[in-house]
Amino acid sequence: MPGPQRDERNGRAATFRVVPELPEVESVRRQLVPELTGRRIVDVWWDAHPHARLSDLDLAVGRRIEQIARRGKFLLCTLDPTEDGDPLELVLHLGMTGSFAIRPTEPTEATPSRTTTDHVRVRFDLDDGRTLRFTDPRRFGRASVIPAGDYVDRIPTLATLGPEPLSPAFDADVFAAGLASTSAPVKAKLLDQRLVAGVGNIYADEALWRARIHPTSRRVGRARALRLHQAIVEVLAAAVEREGTTFRDYQMVNGESGRYADFLDAYGQGDRPCHRCGEAMRRTVVAQRGTTYCPRCQR
DNA sequence: CACGCCTCCTGTGCGC
DNA sequence: TGCGCACAGGAGGCGT
């Protein structure tokens, strides 16, 4: 699951968190499936906060988790139908800093005092004596129970979410047409979630580097769009295969400076030589997001 | 509608 | 040592 990682930038070590994107969320999903499928939720607690994106979680009490699917960066848990036959759905989003843990259920009298500092935002007590904890320091995550599939009214972003990039629904021609009919920077369109689902800041930079497209490019012709389509699929598929581990642990080389493994070619590579042409990678801001690219091979 | 800027939040690094 | 500030970003809101 996403967690603190080592960074080495300009000779200084730093820690930061891996922001979960499609591969990381898929990895989390695969870990949750064997633990949660078939389990009944017997009690729920959640953090009341003015801006908490947590809603109607009490509706999950008494329900059984039937399936855990993923759309983009969302986890979708099907709950069994209510007495009147309406199936419910638990929608989860990790935001920037969300993570899950499954632990033995603690006695209720032992828990309240811990809630302010441990950043646990939601607890789902399960019928097997364990608790699913949703921890989210920055509160950008979300957890909502909705009538199954009622995205248009309840979670519009899900209703307008683009195709899954690792499925046949991600059509190259549709993608190219979508890029052709816009004036926004191509990176903004990748982050937008409507052209393609699940791409975030890291894999947007990686895919653009691989396709040799400048992140601020506002005119992406068909040939480059097809290249980018292919790059998105390759970058995400490779990351899913690595179980969403975006970064490998910081490693020392001959007792000198450490470096990333070769997983990342763009993100976080500012000032380093481009893995393809050796030019110094450059850092800028696109769509209010830190962006790294090669000024020579990405035009 | 499309685009793009602003805000939510908090841990962390860095300058002084 | 400690203070204050900048920075990180997914998604939602809002102004143009």
Average pLDDT over residues A164-183: 97
Residues A67-94 pLDDT 10s: 999 999 999 999 998 777 789 999 999 9
Lowest mean pLDDT among A6-15, A64-73, A167-176: A6-15
Band (A253; pLDDT cuts 50, 70, 90):
very low
Q: What does the pLDDT read at residue A269?
A: 86
Band (A110; pLDDT cuts 50, 70, 90):
low
Q: Is the pLDDT score of A252 beyond 80?
A: no
Could you tell me the domains of chain A?
5-15+162-293 (1.10.8.50), 23-159 (3.20.190.10)
Locate A256 and state its tokens: 């000198």
Average pLDDT over residues A35-45: 97
Which residues of A are known to be catalytic?
20-21, 73, 289
Q: Is the pLDDT score of A258 beyond 90?
A: no
Please tell me whether any atom of strand C lies within 7 Å of the Cβ of A293: no
Band (A111; pLDDT cuts 50, 70, 90):
low
Please tell me whether any atom of strand B lies within 7 Å of the Cβ of A184: yes
Q: What does the pLDDT read at residue A268?
A: 83
Say how far A277 CA is from C3 C1', in Å.
Answer: 44
Say how far A235 CA is from C14 C1', in Å.
Answer: 34
What are the residues whose beta carbons fall under 8 Å from the beta carbon of A48, sequence distance 6 or more?
none
Burial class (CB in 10 A: 0-12, 13-18, 19+), A8: middle
Say how far A95 CA is from C10 C1', in Å.
Answer: 6
Please tell me whether any atom of strand B lies within 7 Å of the Cβ of A140: yes
Which nucleotide shows the minimum CA-to-C1' distance to residue A199? Answer: C10
Band (A106; pLDDT cuts 50, 70, 90):
confident
Average pLDDT over residues A227-239: 96
Mean pLDDT of chain A: 86
What percentage of chain A reaches a pLDDT higher than 90? 75
Q: Is the pLDDT score of A199 beyond 60?
A: yes
Beta pairing, strands A142-147 & A53-55: parallel
Strand C, nucleotides < 7 Å from a protein CB: these are 7-13
Which nucleotide shows the minimum CA-to-C1' distance to residue A117? Answer: B10
Q: What does the pLDDT read at residue A9?
A: 35
A294 versus A242: the higher-pLDDT residue is A294
HSE toward the beta carbon, residue A224, CA cutoff 13 A: 16
Q: What does the pLDDT read at residue A116?
A: 54
